[in-house]
Amino acid sequence: MTVTAGGGAPARPVEGAGDRGGARGRVQALALGEEEVVFLDQTKLPAAVEYVRAVSVEDVARAIETMVVRGAPAIGIAGAFGLALYAARSDAATPEDFLRGFEDAARRLARTRPTAVNLFWAIERMRVVARETLAGTTAAPGRAWLEEVRRRLRAEALEIAGADERGNRRLSTYGQALLPRKCRVLTHCNAGALATGGYGTALGIIRAAREAGKEVSVLVDETRPLWQGARLTAWELMQEGIPATLITDSMAGWFMSRGEVDVVIFGADRIAANGDVANKIGSYSLAVLARAHGLPCYSAAPLSTVDLDTKTGADIVIEERSPEEVTRPYGLLVAPPGVAAANPAFDVTPARLITAIVTDAGVAWPPYERSLRELAERASGRREGAAFRRG
Ligand code: MRU
C-alpha cells in the first residue's frame, strides 16, 4: 500500500464514481483504477488530504481494518473493488484456479470488520457474478474467459458504487421531507460522502434539506473514541458551508434539555428485520435521550444495510476494537498505562426508539417487520438494491 502526496487528486485517472467525486467539490472516499484501488486516507483527515493506493486484496483488507476507509456503504464498496482488483491482477490458468483465488480473497475481505452488513452483501453480489460468468467455461479455449470475468466484476463493482450514490440521493430526498423548514439536527459519527459511494445518508438528508432551501444547522457529536464526528463530519460540513457546531458526546443531553435540538439523525451499519439499528457506539444513548426529550430520532441507510436474515439486534455481531483506541487515541496517552478499557465499536438501538428508518426505497415506519420487508420487496422488483443475501 503506498501513499501519495496530499492535497490533490490521485495522479492517474481512476474510475469508481464517474463525476461523483468532483460534483461541487464533494469528497470521494475511494475509486477503482485499472489495477489499484485508491482511498482517501480517512485516518489522516482533517490534518492532511492523502491518498493511499492498494494494489492487492491484502492492501484493501488492511485499509478496511485500519479505517483508512470506513462507514458501512464505503466498506461494502471497498470489498467489491477489492474483488475487482483480484480479478484485474489474476493470472489464473483455469476458471477453477480463478474461483479458488476469488474465494480466498472474499474470505480475507469478509474477515476485516464484522458489523456492517454492506460488506457481506457486496461480496455476495460479486461472488454471484464470478460464478455465473464462469459457469460452464472449463473447457473454453484460450483466456477469453479471464477477460470476460474481469470485465463483468469490474462493471459490477462500479455499479455497486454508482447505485449507492444514486440511492443516497433518493434517500436524502425522502429524508429531507421529514424536516421542518428551520431546524437543528444532531448527528453522530460520520454518515456523509466519506462513508458512502457519495452524497451520504444522514448528512445527505441535511444536504438535501439545504438544497431545498431549508434552514438547517447541525450539532456534531465528536464521536469517541475515533472522532469520526469531529474529524470527518465537521470537515465535510465545513467544505460545503453548512453551519455546524462541534460538541463532545456527553453534551448531547444538555443541548436537548435547553431546546437546542429538533431532531436526531444517524446512519446504520446493520438494521435487523425488526428495525433494531446497529450504529456507531453512542447512537443508543442519543436515541434514549431523544425519547426522553420528545424528539424524533431517525436512522438513515440504504437497503443494502438492511439485513432481513438477522431477526433482531441481539443477533448482530458487534465489533470489539483495540483498547488502545480508547487509552491512547492517535498516539496520545489519555489514561494510565495498563488500565483496562472496553472498546465496542457499535451499539444497538432498539426499534422502539427509532421514529422512522429512511431508506433509498422510501421511509419505513413501525412496525418495521412489515415496512422494511415491503420496501425490500418493492426495491427488488425494481432491480436497484435488489440483493439481500448475507455472506
Ligand atoms: O466505525 P465506522 O467509522 O466505520 O462507523 C461508521 C458508522 O457507524 C456510520 O454511522 C455508519 O456506517 C453509516 S455510514 C453511512
Domain ranges of the chain: 2-167, 172-380
How far apart, in whole angstroms, are the C-alpha atoms of residue 279 and residue 247? 19
- Digit-coded pLDDT (tens) for 310-323: 999 999 999 999 99
For residue 201, which atom of ligand 1 is closest to its CA? 15
In the reported structure, the alpha carbon of residue 146 is separated from the centroid of ligand 1 by a whole-number distance in angstroms of 35
Tens of pLDDT, residues 208-228: 999 999 999 999 999 999 999
Cα(28) to centroid(ligand 1), Å: 16
pTM: 0.93
Please check whether the two domains, 2-167 and 172-380, share a CATH topology.
no
Confidence of residue 140 (pLDDT cuts 50, 70, 90): low
Identify the band that residue 381 occupies on the pLDDT scale cut at 50, 70 and 90. confident
Please give the pLDDT value at position 136: 78
Topology of the domain covering 172-380: Rossmann fold (3.40.50)
List residues bridging with 38 in a β-sheet: 31, 53
Residues with CB under 6 A from ligand 1: 70-73, 116, 189, 191, 195-196, 201, 228, 266-269, 279-280, 345
Q: How far is the CA of 359 from the centre of ligand 1 (A)?
A: 15
**Average pLDDT over every residue of 70-96:** 98
- Model confidence at 117: pLDDT above 50: yes
CA atoms within 13 A on the CB side of 335: 13
What was the pLDDT predicted at 203?
Answer: 98
> How many angstroms does the Cα of residue 199 sit away from the middle of ligand 1?
14
Mutational test site, ligand 1, from 117, 280, 284, 286, max ligand atoms within 8 Å of CB:
280
Q: Which atom of ligand 1 is nearest to the CA of 319?
A: 1
Residue % of the chain over a pLDDT of 90: 88
Residue 18: pLDDT over 60? no
Pull the grid cell for residue 95: 476458471
Q: Is the pLDDT of residue 371 over 90?
A: yes
CA-nearest of 64, 269, 40, 73 to 163 is 73
Least confident interval from 21-25, 131-135, 164-168, 376-380: 21-25
Atom of ligand 1 nearest to the CA of 346: 8
Question: How far out from the chain centre does Cα 362 lie?
Answer: 19
Which atom of ligand 1 is nearest the CA belonging to 279? Answer: 8
What is the pLDDT at residue 15?
54
pLDDT at residue 142, rounded to an integer = 77
Residue of minimum CA distance from atom 6 in ligand 1: 71
Q: Which residues are designated catalytic?
A: 269
The protein residue with its alpha carbon nearest to ligand 1, atom 15, reads: 191
Burial class (CB in 10 A: 0-12, 13-18, 19+), 130: buried
Ligand 1, atom 8: closest residue by C-alpha = 280
As a CATH number, domain 2-167 is 1.20.120.420
Rounded CA-CA distance 168/52 in Å is 25
| Most ligand 1 atoms within 8 A of CB, residue of 41, 189, 277 to mutate | 189
